[in-house]
Amino acid sequence: MNTGTILRAGVVGHPVKHSRSPIIHGYWLEQFGINGRYDRYDVKPEDFSHFVKTLSEQGLQGVNVTIPHKEAAFLALDEATDRARRLKAANTLWFENGKLWGDNTDSIGFLANLDQGHPGWDINAKSALILGAGGAARAIIAGLQERNIEKITIVNRTRERAEELALMSGGQVAVAEWSKLSFQLESADLVVNTTSLGMSGQPDLDLSLDPLGKNALVTDIVYVPLETNLLKQARLRGNPVVDGLGMLLHQAVPGFEHWFGKRPVVTDELRYLVEDHITGIRA
Ligand code: NAP
């Protein structure tokens, strides 16, 4: 039986009530029998700086940070990992030797999800097509660069945003027109939807995959619904597919280890539990 202090962490965002992170960390806390809590904190942008400065007074070991605070979180750190410095955004904060540290684990989560869902995907992947140029795309491009994907092309509704991201990402990152998306499919070994299109409540991504090779891997980081229309279309034509839920699960691993001292594993049981929440089987 556990005695003593309750270890506490959580997720801070605005809004944050739909975050599934408490389900994930709650599951691991129970698995390890750790006397801990993981809660949601809805904090407005104007209150974020005060919230971070008082983390330890609030008894928190650290937090996950979600929209819209990831850039502000990076600016509030004492120390950042190379990855967070490169992305200028942090989603996982913890204390080490009295200093507030931050990392960006979205790229870790993205890569681990593909590694688990389609092992060896990066061996022959030379060319990646990224739809979208927001915060998630930034982290994913950094991840693909870590895996030495030779050619990365960004296509975004707002072209200037894609150009800014290409510039910031450095290396061999190209930009193509949203209206010419289908031409880009011909040479892609990996297609990643990082836009919010296809998410429940949003319009669908209106894209025919006809020009895409049958071996190209298609992944969508939207995970509500679990199978977006993009993934369904890809699956029905025989392409390998990986959905976005695993990215959410895997990005949570480093934070749990920092706050609660155990390295958790993303199991099928955890995935089914979160799936049940998404599909409404569990509230
Ligand atoms: P963001 O910074 O707001 O970026 C949104 C992106 O979607 C932008 O590229 C935007 O294009 C594009 N977009 C939005 N509406 C569009 C439309 N009607 N037509 C074409 N493009 C549109 O958001 P984010 O943080 O990158 O997140 C993007 C999505 O990924 C969200 O659905 C989020 O829930 C999901 N996500 C999943 C995970 C995971 O763990 N699986 C992690 C992070 C994010 P413009 O630049 O033209 O506005």
Domain boundaries, the chain: 7-105+252-279, 110-243
pLDDT of residue 84: 96
159 lines ligand 1 (CB under 6 A): no
CATH class of the domain whose range is 110-243: alpha beta
Please say if the pLDDT value at position 187 is more than 50. Answer: yes
Distance CA 272, CA 136 (A): 24
CA of 131 to the centre of ligand 1 (A): 9
> Identical fold at 7-105+252-279 and 110-243?
yes
CA of 1 to the centre of ligand 1 (A): 43
* Residue nearest ligand 1's atom 1 by CA: 134
The model's pLDDT over 205-251, given as tens digits with 9 standing for 90+, comes to 999 999 999 999 999 999 999 999 999 999 999 999 999 999 999 99
CATH class of the domain whose range is 7-105+252-279: alpha beta
* 206/8: higher pLDDT: 8
* Residue nearest ligand 1's atom 4 by CA: 134
CA of 157 to the centre of ligand 1 (A): 11
CA of 156 to the centre of ligand 1 (A): 10
Q: What's the rounded mean pLDDT across residues 123-127?
A: 94
- Catalytic residue chosen out of the listed positions 17, 44, 53, 70: 70
The model's pLDDT over 40-64, given as tens digits with 9 standing for 90+, comes to 999 999 999 999 999 999 999 999 9
CA-based nearest residue to 87, from 12, 168, 145, 192: 168
107 lines ligand 1 (CB under 6 A): no
pLDDT of residue 139: 96
Active site residue 88: no
pLDDT tier, 281 (very low <50, low <70, confident <90, very high otherwise): low
Distance CA 60, CA 58 (A): 6
233 lines ligand 1 (CB under 6 A): no
Which ligand 1 atom sits closest to the C-alpha of 162? 46
Q: What's the rounded mean pLDDT across residues 184-212?
A: 96
68 lines ligand 1 (CB under 6 A): no
Q: What's the rounded mean pLDDT across residues 165-188?
A: 92
Question: Model-level pTM?
Answer: 0.94
114 lines ligand 1 (CB under 6 A): no
CA of 29 to the centre of ligand 1 (A): 30
CA 21 to chain centre: 12
pLDDT of residue 1: 44
CA-based nearest residue to 193, from 257, 259, 273, 247: 247
* 76-82 contact pairs (CB < 8 A, 24+): 76/48, 76/49, 76/52, 76/100, 76/102, 77/101, 77/102
Using DSSP bridges, classify how beta strands 60-65 and 36-42 pair: parallel, antiparallel or unpaired.
Answer: unpaired
Contact 2, 34 (CB under 8 A): yes
pLDDT of residue 105: 97
Ligand 1 pocket, mutate which of 18, 194, 196 (most atoms under 8 A from CB): 196
pLDDT tier, 3 (very low <50, low <70, confident <90, very high otherwise): low
* Residue nearest ligand 1's atom 27 by CA: 136
Q: What's the rounded mean pLDDT across residues 183-207?
A: 95
Q: Report the largest interatomic distance among the alpha carbons of the chain, rounded to a whole angstrom.
A: 61
Q: Which tokens go with 167?
A: 């510039």
Q: What's the rounded mean pLDDT across residues 120-147?
A: 96
155 lines ligand 1 (CB under 6 A): no
Contact 162, 137 (CB under 8 A): no
